[in-house]
Amino acid sequence: MHRLEPGADVPDPLAPYLAVDRFPPRHECWVVGHMVAGLDGTAAVDGRVGALSTRPDQALFRSMREIADVVLVGAETVRLEGYGPVRLSDEARARRRDLGKPGTPPVAVVSRSLRLDPAAAVFADAPDDAETVVVTCAEADRGRRAEVEEFAIVIVAGEDRVDPSAAMRALADRGHGVVLCEGGPTWLGELVAADRLDELLLTVSPLMGGDPLPVSVTPPGAGIARFELKGIMAEDGTLFLRYEVAAGRAAADERSDR
């Protein structure tokens, strides 16, 4: 064990994340989860994550989307948080174009029910070169699917539910090498259970007393996934942790020696 001491100031908090080598991925694409939690592990206050996000976290959250080829989010999070299309600075868009990427990454919404509002900003305000994608399953209502196809690109991944592995393959087939998942906890848990989460960016806010909702909701029967700490930063009491999945998944029945 060692004690961490305050270090040198980081002029650009995004720089350490931009410098991470995410290629080649373990699977079809590199999947990054970006979440915020309180000191008690809560992932929401009154159903929303906004109250947990501090000023430095809000700034980093917005700029972090520069690393993404697509921003993935669950439909319930879109509804609760009022999601819109990705907005990046002129400098960020220029850096992306220098790398041969589109200036703006699209948003992909995961929805089995397809109860989506075409007037929502995430669909209505999406730019022509970053049209919003909806990821659903084969057994989703065909009538609703036809309606959604009028205002979004629809991808079918899985039969009776959205399958995380199939969804990542489909996004990779569209040229998305880095998938940035911004929640919610249920979808993040599905990604972890499917061994599709490569990196977790976890912000710990200096708050307690939110909803009894964890950062990740593990589906029944899922095994244990282990991660390695790769980076730590802090500002104004807010802690920024970066983890990468450890080499090899732990067996489902593995137990700690402790």
User: What would the pLDDT profile of 14-42 be if each residue is shown by its tens digit?
Assistant: 999 999 999 999 999 999 999 999 999 99
Amino acid letter at 4? Answer: L
Q: Tell whether the model's pLDDT for residue 178 goes beyond 90.
A: yes
CA separation, residue 237 to residues 133, 205, 207 (Å): 36, 7, 10
- pLDDT tens digits for 127-145? 999 999 999 999 999 999 9
Residue with tokens 């009491």: 237
Rounded CA gap, 153 and 130, in Å? 10
Residues 6+ apart with CB under 8 A from 229: 241, 242, 243
Rounded CA gap, 79 and 66, in Å? 23
**Tokens encoding 169:** 């393959």
219 Cα distance to chain centroid: 18
pLDDT (0 to 100) of residue 254: 43
User: Is the CB of residue 50 less than 8 Å from the CB of residue 81?
Assistant: yes
